[in-house]
Amino acid sequence: MLKMSRPDGNEEEHDGSIVLLPGRDDIGARLDRYIADNLPDLSRGTVQQLIESGHVLVDEQQRKPKFRVTPGEVVTIEIPPPLEDEIQPDAIPLEIIYEDADIIVIDKPAGMVVHPAPGHPRGTLANALVHHVPGIAVGGSRRPGIVHRLDKDTSGLIVAAKTDRGRTALVARWADKSVEKTYLALVWGTVEEESATIDAPIGRDPKNRQRMAVVRSGREAVTHFRVVERFVDASLLEVNIDTGRTHQIRVHLAFAGHPVVGDAIYGPASKSSVAPRQFLHASQLGIALPNGERAHYSSPLPQDLERVVEILRIETRAAM
């Protein structure tokens, strides 16, 4: 299962269009349970209301909550905006890495919520995109097509569709798993392996439904990492993911005993962070453009995270 067109930012945001693609491990799952399991911030009751009100389509057809999903189907969830039918434009500067008639690649700063939601009606990436592209129209509304997620406090590369053609192309790229996404993560502890793979299912934390966790009943999740640099009690990793589970990198690294530095949810409460926020940055993006051309984009560490690395290098040299 791959998540696409999901509203980004903090975990309480659910305004906009979401696309889910059932995989082999989803065969026969009830539609309402499948959506609730993969969008942990939506209760099952809310999901059932969305289905009954026609806001959920399976291959562009309305289904009942008890409908059984099948791999290859496209499940689209339209979540009614809490405040306004149209996203309002905000003149927020954007660091544009690439743009054509159909898509746009942005280097998102940390702290920017991606899509409007209760508590964040304005000042989001979506508001900025509507201002930057006055004629933007995806899915019959004046909205950008946000096709993958970055948490509010994660910086780096994110791609959005400006047109239905762009959205269709991006959804196809996620479906065929040809998108290459690389992250830089600073984690607690000295990672001994030069590289490793974490293959552990992720689902809702049974003790806290607002968190995710490695659980036996969860969905398949695979994360690869290699060590870029080691410091005193910390390691800088390059991370790639085969799947797109909620909080996958943060959950898997914490499960491996090396939580992301600055992670207030999955990190150790006893450690004072050397980072001003969670040290997770989407540094590289490889994708086929709508015209079929393969492109690769890079984003260097932002200054706040680069300063952390410089401090750790000084401390490490002093300890040698």
Tens of pLDDT, residue by residue over 13-42, are: 333 578 999 998 899 999 999 998 888 777
Question: In which residue are the tokens 């974490």 written?
Answer: 198
Q: Is the pLDDT of residue 6 over 80?
A: no
pLDDT band of residue 119 (cuts 50, 70, 90) is low
Give me the catalytic one of 151, 199, 205, 263: 151
Distance CA 50, CA 56 (A): 6
pLDDT band of residue 184 (cuts 50, 70, 90) is very high
Mean pLDDT of the chain: 87
Task: Tell me the pLDDT tens digit for each residue of 187-198.
Answer: 999 999 999 999
More confident residue, 261 or 118: 261
Task: Tell me the pLDDT tens digit for each residue of 42-52.
Answer: 778 888 888 98
User: Is 15 a known active-site residue?
Assistant: no
pLDDT band of residue 239 (cuts 50, 70, 90) is very high
The confidence score (pLDDT) of residue 299 equals 98
3-state SS of the chain is CEEECCCCECCCCCCEEEEEECCHHHCCCEHHHHHHHHCCCCCHHHHHHHHHCCCEEECCEECCCCCECCCCCCEEEEECCCCCCCCCCCCCCCCEEEECCCEEEEEECCCCCCCCECCECCCCHHHHHHHHCCCCCECCECCCEECCCCECCCEEEEEEECCHHHHHHHHHHHHCCCCEEEEEEEEECCCCCCEEEEECCEEEECCEEEEEEECCCCECCEEEEEEEEEECCEEEEEEEECCCCCCHHHHHHHHCCCCECCCCCCCCCCCCCCCCCCCEEEEEEEEECCCCCEEEEECCCCHHHHHHHHHHHHHHHHHC
Task: Tell me the pLDDT tens digit for each residue of 261-285.
Answer: 999 999 988 887 889 999 999 999 9
Domains (ranges, CATH) in the chain? 1-176 (3.10.290.10), 181-282+307-319 (3.30.2350.10)
pLDDT band of residue 105 (cuts 50, 70, 90) is very high
